[in-house]
Structure 1
Amino acid sequence: MRIAFLVAPEGVEQIELTDPWQAVRDAGGEPVLVSTRPGEVQAFHHLDKADTFPVQETAAGLTAADFAGLVLPGGVANPDQLRTDADAVAFVRDFFTRGLPVAAICHAPWTLIEADVLRGRTLTSWPSLATDIRNAGGTWVDAQVKVCTAGPNALVTSRKPDDLKAFDEALIEQMRGD
């Protein structure tokens, strides 16, 4: 179970990267850090710099066919940068085209909005994205975790770091196809 974790070079919320990453490893999967540039990504604890992590692959030229699923960690700056990168957006869209599971937490649905994959889907996020999600054709709900299967693939979403336990459990279940 090879799972892509797509993040921008700077701005990912560290706990939203490391916690699901560990859940994938604990489930016997292989997490792969994908970014828009090679090198390292700078994680954050909200607005403060945290650790750096080595990029394993870049989004340019990658296809979803090489993975069993996709995780989109949040942080405000992370998805804001990803949604302006054509390769990152195309990579995300490919998971939906191929019917592979996707998990997104906090502000990460901004990238899904840009990929135009939310029409007819029900999801949750950080509350400030509710209008953006509705404007993109989705239905926003205030829930710890939401699994939507009303589309070509399972979409797992959560609101914030406090929801990580439920998010991790749901994403592992969907990535395994349970």
Structure 2
Amino acid sequence: GVAVASAVPAILAVAAAACASRRCRCLWRGRFLLLSRSPAMCADSEALAGKPEPLPSSQSGVTGCIGVVLLNIGTPVSTSLEDVADYLSRFLSDDRVIEMKDPQAKQEILQRILRSGSAKSAESYKQIWHPSRGSPLLFHTEDLAVGLRRELGKAYEVRIGFQYSEPSVETALAQ
């Protein structure tokens, strides 16, 4: 909506300034510009971007444009205990989130956190979940992508990539 559209120029200015001052990483990979303040996301994005080349324009449906991928950690699919536990498991299993050398001890701690924290987290998600649009992180990111796409014009394709949920960074880069 209006708030997203008015925020897009400011976001572009902040992104440009942050990249210029190296407060975030700007990574050009093929036709993608990846912006992130998270070293973990940048590391994964660098690894992913180094593997497959973008699809030829005849296969991707995009001709001669630059892809912009908005990165974030992700969100559960729903507020159900199962979906929240699944999301938390993916998030907490990342070695950069819980740094432990002993894999068995890490697994035990992960299981304890999931047993005790999943229900609390599911309740917290229910407090903020939108009745028709779902996860605030997802729909606000989608709104931002729409506004950014509109502001940048046809020369750019804007995608969303989440680290621990869908749409994944891999999916965003493949598009």
Q: Which has the higher contact order (CA 8 A, sep 6+)?
A: 2
The structure number with the bigger radius of gyration is 2
Give TM-score, length-normalised by structure 2.
0.25
Greater strand content:
1
Scaled by the length of structure 1, the TM-score of the pair is 0.24
